[in-house]
Structure 1
Amino acid sequence: MLSLGQGTLVTHSYLFEIYLFVFGAAAVACFGSIGRAMEISNDDTRRGIVALLVTSGLWAAFHVGYLAAPTPSLQYGFYIAGLVVGLSTVGPWLYFCSAYTGRTLHRNPTYQRAAVGTYLSIVAVKLTNPLHGLYFSVRSVETPFPHLLIEHGALHWAVMGLAYALAVVGIFMLFELFVQVDYDTRPFAVLVGLTALPVVLDIVGFVSSTFLDVSYSSIGVAIFAVGVLFIYIEQFETIQLAGQYDDPVIVVDDEGEIRDYNQAALALFPELGDAIDEELSSVAPKVAVGLTTDEPLECTLSGETHYYSVSANQFSTGKAKLGQLILLKDVTEQERYRLELEDQNARLEQFTGMVSHDLRNPLNIAQGNIDLARETGEDEPLDTVKTALDRMEELIEDLLSLARQGKPIDETDRVSLADVVRSCWEMVDVADAELVVDGDSELDADRDRLQQLFENLFRNAVEHGGEDVTISVGPLDAGGFYVEDNGPGIPDDKHHEIFESGYTTSRQGTGFGLSIVSEIVDAHGWSITVTNGETGGARFEIDTRDGSPDVAGSENEPDEGTEASADVDRI
């Protein structure tokens, strides 16, 4: 059937022995690594790598049979077996890559049926090649040693192109995972380069007589399978563990030294970037402390405060303990809700105390004067009762306002500072006081609460600075605005006390006006400080940079369409 002419394929030439050794070594390496591959804990990953080792080993072994078989028929048979098994390595490779990177493509029935159908179709073409001759042809040659030469057709190269394209898909899956966990991809690139080297030999063998025109891909697959396996034992398992989580993950060994992490962890702790082999306690001490407490870990991410619960899971491969996988689960929403409840409870307790304390005195006065009016039959004590009741009504209104203003703000509007200030001035009994609007800017704020803030500051200025006080309002260069009066000012040692609920130096005041101002500022995410102005009066500065609101203008320059800052508006 097939004739090699005179001579034999089995030769002891130096080149022949090299071919046998290389393909034989590839087969032995694959089969010899199966035992170690069985130690992999993840079932799907283990199945994929073991199947890849088996098929790659068989592929290389069939090449040895093809070269060393004593008859042309056996050589042909071994070559066909190699074609069938070689193509099958694509399936385990993609199965392994999908399982290792945490995907479920290898379990998808549609993909499975498509893969099996494509494989069987190509195998059918290969097995029926003697009938159509489209895949390859054979002839006997004497160089570089006597052997059965396989001359591949266009259909073979098309199938090879498909196989390598699918192999690249798997490489991309692994590369994407390595990038995700910020793993050094250089060793992986070297491994891919070694795997691609046989492709070069395939091409050289096709265009030149220097190398045999056979497929060298089994050597490349064997290199990659064995390389991945041994790297897996040392590093791949930690990479897989870190990469399968969206939450921040840090992998440490049994001595507490950092072995790996994912991109989410790097974003949270940039210092991890150069911290491989460093102790976790020195690189990210907050995480190390978080492992010893039930309190959530507070971190800043993209300028916002986030909270994470810290947990650690031991992991091992076979009998070897590799270390711990530290998972930081985002519990920001739960923690914010808990803190909000705590704040509400604290407010309720404060509110209850203020109600019982501040309302009791006018209530006692009213009750005592009612009893006195009954005993004497005179109406004069009732005037005192009315005054006490008016006082109680004022206290109740301020207490309710205080309770409302501290609630978080859900939505804000873009408002003009000057417009809000003028609107508030018209709503306050300011007697003969004067308002100076020194420039304009725009703020993102809850307009109603911002109006309440200005009204309370205006009343406070009139109450303590006199009916003819001058009040100035304008934007701050750094972002925010100020409210300043030319009254007597506030002593330095009282700057913090004035924002406490119930604090007042006026017999007519309720002590809640500036507390409400402080609550409104906090609800916006702003900050407020009090100083003494150039004239010695009180100056309140509200910094809007800490929250989402911000002042549009700078150096008292308004946005287009607003009043020029050089113009001072006096009311």
Structure 2
Amino acid sequence: MAGDGRVLERALDTLDDVFYVYDAGGRLIHWNRRLNELFGLSDAELDGMLPTEFFEEADRPAVEAAMADIFESGETLVEAWAETTQGRVRFELTGRLLTEEDGSILGFAGVGRDVTDRREQAWHLAKQNERLEEFADILAHDLRSPLAVANGHLELMQTTGERDHLADIAAAHERMEHIIEDVRTATREGTLAADVMPIDVVVVAREAWETVEIDGETLELPSELTVDADAKRLRRLFENLFRNCVDHGSTERSPVTVRVLATERGFAVEDDGPGIDPADREDVFGPGISHSDGGTGFGLYIVRTITEAHGWSVTVTEGTDGGARFEFDLRGAA
């Protein structure tokens, strides 16, 4: 039997998943080598650990509730995030109650499986489905107005014969072209970021700034900042964000200063302009939201789609000097 036990232990050590056994008090008493590898802990350090100690603070209540389910119903299933030697991992955790023949509880056993990719794919699919609905609404709503303008002037020209209406018809068509192009851009940039690699944010942000029409505005960059991103999409994100800061933050008397800053969870872009009204902050990333003449309202929407394509999140708050601050959380898909 001793030999059989060693074979079983070796077999468990070959698994890509984590295998664990806890006693009736919820203390770790047996595990496979995968747990050591993922958390960089020795057998002595792992011995007696509680399930919650492996996972992020925000997910610990769910893990505790799952443990209670095991002792009440005999089994459980829960997902939780953990920082590992291989980065941040989303685990699907199972648990089955272990009992003696007389029904007394010995503890529970289960498997922890890395479902990070599966969760991210499901998240991206849900986001893409949301965008399809948004795009349909955009094309139905935003194209209606310039189309009506063009048709109205066409009817007037047909009635009066005055060719002055051609300029208005052309302007309406140009407006529709801009809307269609922005929807196409949002569609392309909103797909999963495929070419992710370590990117020098300072270099990409400086290149993006060169595409912005400036008149006294300045850009301040950190000495260094690197993120894992798709370089082309990250540059497009900065281009749209910088244009928004310049267009809405600058005045004739006071050109805006735009700053890119490193943060604990990623990075931020802020300006020292008038800022964004707190009542409008929840809506600024919506499609078609524009507060400037001639704008299509897709600049910040494209910023949001690129952000989500990377699995990040973005929020807008007040900047250090009272302007707008856009904070990018690189762990936003949680």
Fold agreement, TM-score > 0.5: yes
User: What does residue 129 of structure 2 align with?
Assistant: 345
CA distance in 1, matches of 2:91, 2:105: 28
Contact 1:489 1:532 in 2 (8 A): yes
Contact 2:28 2:46 in 1 (8 A): no
2:190 corresponds, among 389, 394, 406, to 406
CA 1:271 to 1:360, structure 2 compared with 1: closer, same or farther past 3 Å? farther
Counterpart secondary structure, 1:488? coil
Matched-pair identity in %: 32
Contact 2:200 2:224 in 1 (8 A): yes
Q: Which has the higher contact order (CA 8 A, sep 6+)?
A: 2
User: What does residue 538 of structure 1 align with?
Assistant: 324
Partner deviation per Cα, 1:250-300 (whole Å, 9 max, x = no partner): 5578x89779542457878x9982569xxxx99843255487999752332
Mapping 1:206-355, distance limit 5 Å: 247-251=17-21, 260-263=29-32, 273=48, 284-289=64-69, 297-302=79-84, 303-308=87-92, 310=94, 312=96, 326-328=109-111, 330=113, 332=115, 333-355=117-139
CA distance in 2, matches of 1:341, 1:289: 31
Contact 1:487 1:538 in 2 (8 A): yes
Larger radius of gyration: 1
Tell me if 1:101 matches 2:101. Answer: no
CA 1:467 to 1:258, structure 2 compared with 1: closer, same or farther past 3 Å? closer
1:437, distance to aligned residue in structure 2 (A)? 3.2
CA distance in 2, matches of 1:292, 1:519: 42
User: What does residue 496 of structure 1 align with?
Assistant: 282
1:346, distance to aligned residue in structure 2 (A)? 1.9
Contact 1:402 1:519 in 2 (8 A): yes
Counterpart secondary structure, 1:429? coil
User: What does residue 471 of structure 1 align with?
Assistant: 257
1:480, distance to aligned residue in structure 2 (A)? 5.2
CA 1:448 to 1:433, structure 2 compared with 1: closer, same or farther past 3 Å? farther
CA distance in 2, matches of 1:458, 1:295: 45
More helix, by proportion: 1
Counterpart secondary structure, 2:66? helix
1:464, distance to aligned residue in structure 2 (A)? 1.9
CA distance in 1, matches of 2:75, 2:296: 44
Partner deviation per Cα, 1:395-416 (whole Å, 9 max, x = no partner): 1222222222233323345544
Deviates more, 1:448-457 or 1:460-469: 460-469
Gaps of 5+ in 1: 1-48, 50-95, 104-176, 181-239, 548-571
Contact 1:482 1:541 in 2 (8 A): yes
2:162 corresponds, among 378, 400, 422, to 378
User: What does residue 461 of structure 1 align with?
Assistant: 245
1:485 corresponds, among 261, 271, 276, to 271
Gaps of 5+ in 2: 40-44, 52-60
**What letter is aligned with 1:379?**
R
Aligned CA RMSD, in angstroms, stands at: 4.2
Counterpart secondary structure, 2:48? helix
Tell me if 1:449 matches 2:233. Answer: yes
Paired residues in the alignment total 308
User: What does residue 57 of structure 2 align with?
Assistant: none
CA distance in 1, matches of 2:269, 2:15: 50
Contact 1:287 1:297 in 2 (8 A): no
CA distance in 2, matches of 1:414, 1:334: 23
TM-score for both structures, normalised by structure 2? 0.71
Counterpart secondary structure, 1:299? strand
1:508, distance to aligned residue in structure 2 (A)? 1.8
1:390, distance to aligned residue in structure 2 (A)? 1.2
